[in-house]
Amino acid sequence: MPTKIRLQRRGKKGQAFYHIVIADGRAPRDGKFIERIGIYNPLTNPAEIKLNFEKAIDWLKKGAQPTETVKTILTHEGVMYKNHLLKGVQKGALTEEMAEAKFKTWIEERQAKFLSKKKEAELNLKDSRKKALEYETKVNELKAQIIAKKLAKAQEAERVEAAEEKPVVADEISHAEPKTENIQ
């Protein structure tokens, strides 16, 4: 019975997350499984991975074959490297202390790299927000200028209309028929 370490899809349409499971290679993707060893959620940034490290190494020692995606996840979490170091200890190429020291340095480097990427992402986000704000202020200034021009044209048109209206002249008033009141 060839065992596989694979992903089992969960969640609703468009919002998938996965369980990392040990399953028979002949079983369907979302079917029976032997043991669940972790969770993988690709929707978050960065992707959320919760993994039982010891169980994963134990199953790799037993001969379980990870799928390509799970192998990438296990490599990212250090399971594959730890398994490699343990094989070196079994063969006598390393001592356990040397293997642990190498693994600890790898973990520290990985965390430092992760923190630098996170800081870079935050800086990029701040920079993009700053650029968006500058662009928005420029657009608002242009809109304000256009509105000011339209108001100036409207005021000019009102002045022209007022100037075109004929003023009442005194001669016209004297030639007008006088109003008579009915006196009884």
What confidence score (pLDDT) does residue 142 get?
Answer: 93
Query: What's the full length of the chain, in residues?
Result: 184
Residue type, 76: H
Domain 3-94 CATH class label: alpha beta
pTM: 0.65
Asked if residue 60 has pLDDT above 70, the reply is yes
Q: Please, which residues bridge with residue 5 across strands?
A: 22, 66
Write out the two tokens for 29: 């993707």
Domain ranges (residues) in the chain:
3-94
Task: Report the C-alpha gap between 29 and 40 in whole angstroms.
Answer: 15
pLDDT in tens, 92-122: 888 889 999 999 999 999 989 888 988 998 9
Task: Report the C-alpha gap between 150 and 96 in whole angstroms.
Answer: 80
pLDDT in tens, 148-178: 999 998 888 888 887 777 555 555 555 555 5
